[in-house]
Structure 1
């Protein structure tokens, strides 16, 4: 998939826009406030971005591109101990890109239909790659494979926020999360008979992620 074209000043805008969207909520931020935050006249911002949805799309696409790049780096290094490496990579990425995770989980639905389709294609590519790396292809039919990929992606992306309210040091938090996520994923991949319940699993994980984000 070719990399999308972005405004040449996207990197300059990114951090301020991320913090504003994630802290106030995408729906509560208008273009004038965005322009003020970036030190631009509203007309200058409209020149680069026709709407705030275009800015949100760039941020969410960047998030999935980084997830895909992370999978690629893991895959090049080793074919062994894949699940622990995937879990740790997601924990590290959550520390590096916390606002991106929050926006992708909470605000993707604010995009228009075409933009949501672009994000969905990236997410599906990421989920498919996850399942390939976990070696599950022979255990599921096509629909169960898609459902399992979606459920596992939700686990990996939402789990880092589950224990944020608890006074744990980083090592303790990572160990607990690795045990929780690895147990869930290994159990799911071991039993094709559980495929029929994956939709429910995915919904529960998504609800947990949203509840964590709103806290």
Structure 2
């Protein structure tokens, strides 16, 4: 379940990642507020700059514009999910868990819990109102995600059957994360997480 971005294409937002973290976090909170309130198409860098107390030129320099700010939100969310899942898997291994399915489900649970906690970003992504080319960025990340899950499950993804199985499992997690974005409350979210983890445990068993 743990993923890395070692093979992703860098975006303008990546160059801003080294900026002061508290300032970046505060800026991205404003970006999320504006995109949530206005939608991506109707949001403006000018409003983001005004509400964050940042010069427009500074935003353009570091992020390249509205698209870069959107991608920065996406990257921040995915990187936090990576840290969360990697920590949970590492903790399980430290306790002696070696079963790949148990490790995979533990990571999936952490990812889904993170999706619930960060549901505002999930709702924004569900709007299908992102920048041009974002679908390609998401597909690239999904391919990386499948590869990492295959490694965790010890599945040979060079074989079609193995690749299809891991792709299916990864799709289940992604679909559940989208459902969590629309949950009414924590109780409903927990019910979904438990249901999905049970499904993943069942589907992860190798055939035969």
The question of whether the paired residues in 2 share the 8 Å contact of 1:21 and 1:103 is answered with yes
Question: 1 or 2, which has the higher helix percentage?
Answer: 1
Paired residue for 2:34?
A: 20
The question of whether the paired residues in 1 share the 8 Å contact of 2:84 and 2:110 is answered with yes
Q: Does the C-alpha gap of structure 1 residues 21 and 49 become closer, same or farther in structure 2, counting only changes over 3 Å?
A: same
The question of whether the paired residues in 2 share the 8 Å contact of 1:31 and 1:52 is answered with yes
Which aligned runs of 4 or more in structure 1 are off by greater than 6 angstroms?
none
Choose the corresponding residue for 1:111, options 105, 125, 131: 131
Paired residue for 1:99?
A: 120
Helix, strand or coil for the counterpart of 1:141? helix
Paired residue for 2:49?
A: 35
* Equivalence map 1:1-215=2 (5 Å): 1=6, 4-6=14-16, 8=19, 9-78=23-92, 79-80=98-99, 81-107=102-128, 110-113=130-133, 116-137=135-156, 141=161, 143-145=163-165, 147-162=167-182, 164-165=183-184, 170=186, 172-190=187-205
Structure 1 unaligned regions, length at least 5: 194-215
Q: Does the C-alpha gap of structure 1 residues 180 and 187 become closer, same or farther in structure 2, counting only changes over 3 Å?
A: same
Structure 2 unaligned regions, length at least 5: 1-5, 93-97
The question of whether the paired residues in 1 share the 8 Å contact of 2:49 and 2:56 is answered with yes
**TM-score, L = length of structure 2:** 0.69
Helix, strand or coil for the counterpart of 1:112? coil
CA-CA distance at 1:61 after TM superposition: 1.5
What value does the CA root-mean-square deviation take over the aligned residues? 3.4
Q: Does the C-alpha gap of structure 1 residues 182 and 153 become closer, same or farther in structure 2, counting only changes over 3 Å?
A: closer
CA-CA distance at 1:133 after TM superposition: 3.0
